[in-house]
Structure 1
């Protein structure tokens, strides 16, 4: 700076201002533009340009090794420590955003036309004690060939949720008229169901519409049809059974008969 002030006094002010505004915690700012070629040659002879571009190169390299998360969150897992030699592609840890989570579910491809981004989804925990509301954020454009399902991503925000929790999603995909939901264990031969007529079990042919892990939606049953509520071991067509109403009525009649006999 003393040589610059003596030889090029007209350029001294901009260089002094450049040094005064230097911030050690920020990136190196661009050098002042030389007023004429003499000043440029003077700066070049002092290796200022060479030093400047060496520093910028080091800053560029440093930027490649500094990882910035695109959101606020917490570090849940650290797989390296300070000074560890890192390989290309090595996982360093896990950083999650608290409060906002994503749930991936597989939807049958037959409901592809009913899925819409932004649609509300009801979510429940395993015990059905908590209910959350999410929305469809992304729908995969490819169908899995093995399972014939489409991966759908549901975004849910709740402070009570934690990473790794199991949730069940109820997605309104299609409205089905004249259908009921029953346990899958009640199905016989994949398309039949035991009903009760005249005190006997008979097989009714039905049309399964949608399967879940424990339930199935079926069509084809007439209004008023009495079906069994739970699986009966060894049940067969023609088996004599009683409905709860019939059993309660017979018990009441028997009680009245016994009371009459006592009198």
Structure 2
């Protein structure tokens, strides 16, 4: 009970002391307004009039210009080669890519050549007696005959009677049968048609292949073709033989290309035309995406500014004496986020800051 009375007496006393302490503190003087604090700081760019070009950009997928699909024209067992037939392996032109076992076919060919040699030997006596003028030629042909070498062309008959005699003894028939077998035997070995790499492999050594079976694919690394789709309104800037610049968003390298073909049909849905560009160079790979850049019309005494700074379709702000001023312009070309315009006085300070609710005469402070 006694403590309750003490609390009631001390509480008012504490409040009175606190009031005197606060009133004794020095009063804070109000801050003086900074000179020019109301002026908005803005960025400008000084107009440098020059000849500009609108750049048209189209993107496409890179493909090897030379492509060789490898098919088996004969059947047999695939032999192992010095360089395994695998994707990414490089072959020089003329180098053996694949070999199919041809031993049985080769032995049959040797037997046919041996029989042909026998047939030639059998007609020599008649040739010597009835066609004495041609006998030395045929005799020399037989002496040079080698069953391990491709057949040489037969001697030309000097008379119709000699031709009928040769044909009647089956010489021509045997000759062309052997030539056909020699041609077929060459199909058992597949050579690289150009310098390139294997882009697809479907077989392995030891497997049996059938005639007509796809074995793989080879592509050249020396030349590529880029297929792009150009809008109909820009197709006039793509001309056969014209040069274009190519770049990749993944690499910092640029390449040069040449327009080699322009499609003759229009895609009704996209209103675009296909354009084919040939290129070559280091770091190019089939399947990568490239962007082609083509310069269109030239614009003199123009500048390029962000489109967002243009208002009322043909006006921008410039800064004169730290005040905004409306400048009428002519928009020559618009693309993506930029625009090429004309009508800005040379060296004038073009406003580059996007201001909320700007107006002519508004005070601003140019940032240095």
What residue ranges of structure 2 are gaps of 5+ in the alignment?
A: 1-119
Aligned to 2:279: 156
Q: Per-residue displacement from partner, 1:34-75 (whole Å, max 9, x unpaired)?
A: 344554454334322222333455567778999887643222
Could you tell me the TM-score, scaled by structure 1's length? 0.62
1:51 lines up with 2:174 in the alignment: yes
1:72 lines up with 2:190 in the alignment: no
User: 1:99 touches 1:161 (CA, 8 Å); kept in 2?
Assistant: no
Select 1:117's aligned residue among 233, 240, 258: 240
User: 1:123 touches 1:169 (CA, 8 Å); kept in 2?
Assistant: yes
Could you tell me the TM-score, scaled by structure 2's length? 0.48
User: 2:201 touches 2:216 (CA, 8 Å); kept in 1?
Assistant: yes
Select 1:134's aligned residue among 257, 261, 265: 257
CA distance in 2, matches of 1:65, 1:178: 69
Select 2:210's aligned residue among 81, 85, 97: 85
CA distance in 2, matches of 1:168, 1:99: 20
Alignment length (residue pairs): 236
User: 2:304 touches 2:341 (CA, 8 Å); kept in 1?
Assistant: no
CA distance in 1, matches of 2:318, 2:188: 72
Give the C-alpha shift of residue 220 in structure 1.
Answer: 6.4
SS of the residue corresponding to residue 102 of structure 1 reads strand
**Which structure has more strand as a fraction of its residues?**
2
Q: Per-residue displacement from partner, 1:170-226 (whole Å, max 9, x unpaired)?
A: 112322346555678x5999x7999688889x9x99858354xx6544446745474
How has the CA–CA distance of structure 1 residues 210 and 65 changed in structure 2, closer, same or farther, with 3 Å as cutoff? farther
User: 1:124 touches 1:131 (CA, 8 Å); kept in 2?
Assistant: yes
1:174 lines up with 2:318 in the alignment: no
SS of the residue corresponding to residue 296 of structure 2 reads coil
Aligned to 2:124: 5
CA distance in 2, matches of 1:23, 1:110: 68
Higher RCO (C-alpha 8 Å, min separation 6):
2
Select 1:209's aligned residue among 307, 323, 333: 333
Aligned to 1:253: none
CA distance in 1, matches of 2:139, 2:303: 83
User: 1:122 touches 1:131 (CA, 8 Å); kept in 2?
Assistant: yes
Q: CA RMSD in A?
A: 4.6
- Larger radius of gyration between Structure 1 and Structure 2: 2
User: 1:99 touches 1:159 (CA, 8 Å); kept in 2?
Assistant: no
Give the C-alpha shift of residue 22 in structure 1.
Answer: 6.3
CA distance in 2, matches of 1:24, 1:172: 63
